[in-house]
Amino acid sequence: DAKTTQPTSMDCAEGRAANLPCNHSTISGNEYVYWYRQIHSQGPQYIIHGLKNNETNEMASLIITEDRKSSTLILPHATLRDTAVYYCIVMGSQGNLIFGKGTKLSVKP
């Protein structure tokens, strides 16, 4: 399974966009990029996933580079409730999720 690299932590001002980067340089052509978040030891919450094209839903946007070696999760207007650990995961051929260390996002007033 392709591994991902994320910054350990990031800060974002409340109301501003939060842009969380992820590198997955060894991703294969049929592997999807998933984003989950986990708020203080609750269960991981699904945010969004994509293969090649950019994706948007009510929570976030996912921008995947053309070579698919990196992606960015965008929370358009971060609130204090978005403070969480954000996991970028490449889903392998077995169809399961192997979590990395993630990025701890702190949204500050």
Partner 1 sequence: DTEVTQTPKHLVMGMTNKKSLKCEQHMGHRAMYWYKQKAKKPPELMFVYSYEKLSINESVPSRFSPECPNSSLLNLHLHALQPEDSALYLCASSQTLSIGNTIYFGEGSWLTVV
Residues that bind partner 1 (CB under 8 A): 30-32, 36, 41-46, 49, 51, 87, 91-102
The residue (of 25 and 45) whose beta carbon lies closer to partner 1 is: 45
Cβ at position 96, least distance to partner 1 in Å: 6
The residue (of 14 and 97) whose beta carbon lies closer to partner 1 is: 97
Cβ at position 60, least distance to partner 1 in Å: 14
- State how far the Cα of 14 lies from the Cα of 91, in Å rounded to an integer: 31
- State how far the Cα of 96 lies from the Cα of 21, in Å rounded to an integer: 22
Cβ at position 23, least distance to partner 1 in Å: 17
CA dihedral 41, 83, 47, 22 (to 10 degrees): -100
The residue (of 3 and 16) whose beta carbon lies closer to partner 1 is: 3
Cβ at position 34, least distance to partner 1 in Å: 8
Q: What is the DSSP string of 45-101?
A: EEEEEESSS-EE-SS-EEEE-TTSSEEEEEESS--GGG-EEEEEEEE-TTS------
